[in-house]
Amino acid sequence: MGLPLNPPADSARSARHALSLIATARPPAFITTIAREVHRYNAAQANSQSQQNVHTTTLARAKTEILRVIDILIEKMPGDVVDLLVEVMDIIMYCIEGSLVKKKGLQECFPAICKFYMVGYCDRSHRIAVGARQGSVALYDVRTGKCQNIHGHKGPITAVSFAPDGRYLATYSNADSHISFWQMNTSLLGSIGMLNSAPQLRCIKTYQVPPVQPASPGSQNHLKLARLIWTSNRNVILMAHDGKEHRFMV
């Protein structure tokens, strides 16, 4: 408000500014460091003796600030963020309450992450899919907070998208020139989040697709190569950046 700051407030402002500078100077270091802290926090939370301290840790108090910095990185340095998209989603899932995502959806809770074609959210099943650079798919259950990784492609995943009814997930990798369709597990075990006892994805179809050529050489052109658009519960379009379409049916 333009008023003189007391020493603690001045230190807090300086630290906030310094954190932003560190993050933008070395995005991978910031993302991996925060992700490791989140994993350590989650491990401690699983320990019943640590339950009383979960809301008083420095990490818990910094949720809003962490999301602010992640938002800055996505806007200014998306090429660095996409290489660590699963770690970024781990951080977001920690900072935003699952009940809030379930109620409002990922697009409203954190719209910046939805700019990536490698991220998909299903309103029906409350699941988030994230395509990784290693070719795997990270599937998050918003209700339980659990995540399962499934190997899907031989190269970086270009786009993912859920069918409107949530029964299928389409994944596409321009690196291996394949589009795959996965059937979501609707069993009782899957519905209550027992990810270790019942795989949630089963590949039912795979098609080979001609690779999409980037518009021009550039570090960020691969982020918008192609996207997946469902026209019905069984039909999807692979839309390239140049407007070319490939249509598929599950």
State pLDDT tens for residues 39-57: 998 888 777 655 555 556 7
CA separation (Å) from 94 to 53, 147, 196, 211, 229?
16, 12, 20, 36, 29
Confidence at residue 188, expressed as pLDDT on a 0 to 100 scale = 43
Q: Which amino acid is at 161?
A: S
12 Cβ contact partners less than 8 Å away, ≥ 6 residues apart: none
Alpha-carbon gap, residue 113 to 89, rounded angstroms: 8
14 Cβ contact partners less than 8 Å away, ≥ 6 residues apart: none
- Neighbouring CB atoms inside 10 A of 164's CB total 15
State pLDDT tens for residues 148-163: 998 989 999 999 999 9
Alpha-carbon gap, residue 14 to 12, rounded angstroms: 5
Confidence at residue 73, expressed as pLDDT on a 0 to 100 scale = 96
Confidence at residue 43, expressed as pLDDT on a 0 to 100 scale = 84
Look at residue 148 and give its three-state secondary structure: strand
pTM score over 0.75: yes
Output the tens digit of pLDDT for each of the chain's 250 residues. 567 888 888 888 888 889 899 999 999 999 999 999 999 988 887 776 555 555 567 888 889 999 999 999 999 999 999 999 999 999 999 999 989 999 999 999 999 999 999 999 999 999 999 999 999 999 999 988 889 998 989 999 999 999 999 999 999 999 999 999 999 875 544 444 444 444 467 899 999 999 888 876 655 667 889 999 999 999 999 999 989 999 999 9
- Neighbouring CB atoms inside 10 A of 24's CB total 15
Q: Where are the beta strands (DSSP E) in the chain?
A: 119-122, 127-131, 136-141, 147-151, 159-162, 168-173, 178-184, 201-208, 226-230, 235-240, 245-249
